[in-house]
Amino acid sequence: MRPLSQLLHGVPASATVAVADRARALAAAGRDIIALAGGDPDFATPGPIVRAAVAALEDGQTHYPPSRGTPGLRRAIARKLNRENGIRVDPQTQVLVSPGGKFALLAVLAALVNPGDEILIFEPYWVSYPPMVTLAGGTPVTVPLEAARGFPITRQALESRISAKTKAILLNTPNNPTGRVLTADEARAVCRAALDHDLYVIADEVYEALIFEGRHISVGSLDGMAERTVTVNAHSKTYAMTGWRLGWAAGPRPIIDLAAKFQSQTVTSAASFTMAAGEAAFSASGEAVARMRAAYQARRDFMVAALNAIPGVACDSPQGAFYLFVRFPGLETGDSLRMAEILLEQADIAATPGIAFGRAGEGHVRFSIATALPDLQRAVKRIENLMKRRHHV
């Protein structure tokens, strides 16, 4: 038989998906696994969004929609960007709706990248960034950030990785997995590097509605950045719509045109009735989003205090998103794969090893707090008992 794709053989599977699959398999075998590995909100999609989708289906919106997205949803996205982010775009030519934020990112990368181009990725990073750059034909180049200092973005760190082949900076705020929110100084460092070296910026803002401290900064709104920044977002985290597969990108027309061409030749479009739901989400779900954000913040406050009260466990308080990046010095291993294995095998807790997010994530495991509070309370008790057993307390 002829060999299969060497490109795909060289791309790792998603670590978060792998951990979630293993946890499900153990649960199916009868283990009481507390799943803290994935990023799937435990809330139901707000009722007005669901009703909008049902109404669209009953109205016969089951045929091919416009590939770039329905005009109503693109206008709603443009209004949201202008109102909340200070970004002005033409909804007809500068907005692309995709089946999920992940595909929107891939389409933007496909539009930007030529063979040999390098994309800078801050580390720790979301697990799918480097593989997507590779699949788009580019070379991922990571910018390691210092754990001891709380993973700050600095101009020095950026400049150390910029080369003649650098094409773009991929930025995520709030950050998955650390929960850090971009500061004004960090935003200036990114903008200065982009302007000085003629780079694009891809701003992944999927967690922007889930900020507990600080304020959200959209790089595309800053001076000189509109013509070189693509903002990517999705309905999945904000509105508990992970299964609906609805994301979008907005930015310079030449980039969006090419991304739209890539989408038209691959997945074609997002689903018609999903886009009807997405349009309704912008106008009908503000109170629901506020309730979910408050619940995540309460879970964060509980978990950070409870984990730090356990000898041998350390957890910084994230400013946004719904993840904790936790250290276990009491386990006497800096190997995050081993940490995750101990948690799964000895405490029935599924977590994602920090190494999955790059070398800068080593020494940590990521817990998701997109999980009901009673399960988080049970997880804390199990961790407490685990640490007591390990130290014969």
Domain boundaries in the chain? 6-45+287-390, 47-285
What integer pLDDT is reported at residue 392 of this predicted model? Answer: 55
Q: State the average pLDDT over residues 288-316.
A: 97
Q: At what angle do helices 253-264 and 101-112 cross, to 10 degrees?
A: 110
Pairing of the two strands 247-250 and 314-315: unpaired
Mean pLDDT, rounded, for 302-324: 97
Closest CA to 101 of 152, 176, 153: 176
What is the predicted pLDDT for the residue at 27? 80
Instruction: Give the residue-averaged pLDDT of 107-131.
Output: 97
- Model confidence at 362: pLDDT above 60: yes
Q: Which runs of consecutive H residues, i.e. helices, occur in 115-252?
A: 129-135, 155-159, 184-197
pLDDT at position 89 is: 98
Q: Which residue has the higher pLDDT, 7 or 250?
A: 250
Which residue has 């276990």 as its token pair? 328
Contact 191/222 with Cβ under 8 angstroms? Answer: yes
Residues composing the chain: 393
What's the pLDDT at 14? 75
Report, as an integer, the average pLDDT of 250-266.
98
Alpha carbon distance 169, 71 (integer Å): 30
The token duo for 255 is 């980039």
Among 252, 94, 101, smallest CA distance to 168 is for 252
- Phi, psi for residue 227 in degrees, rounded to 5: -80, -5
* Residue 29 pLDDT: 85
**CA gap 22, 13 in Å, rounded:** 13
* Residue 307 confidence (pLDDT) above 90: yes
Share of the chain above pLDDT 70, in %: 99
pTM confidence score: 0.94
Question: Which residues are CB-neighbours of 211 under 8 A, at least 6 positions away?
Answer: 174, 181, 293, 319, 320
Calpha distance 267→271 (Å, rounded): 10
Query: Can 6-45+287-390 and 47-285 be said to share one CATH topology?
Result: no
Closest CA to 343 of 333, 317, 357, 322: 333
Averaged pLDDT of the chain: 95
For residue 129, pLDDT beyond 80: yes
Whether the Cβ atoms of residue 46 and residue 240 lie closer than 8 Å to each other = yes
CATH number of 6-45+287-390: 3.90.1150.10
Burial tier of 131 (Cβ tally within 10 Å: 0-12, 13-18, 19+): middle
According to the model, what pLDDT value does residue 23 have?
A: 79
Confidence band for 182, pLDDT divided at 50, 70 and 90? very high
Distance, first Cα to last Cα, the chain: 59
Q: Which fold has domain 47-285?
A: Aspartate Aminotransferase; domain 2 (3.40.640)
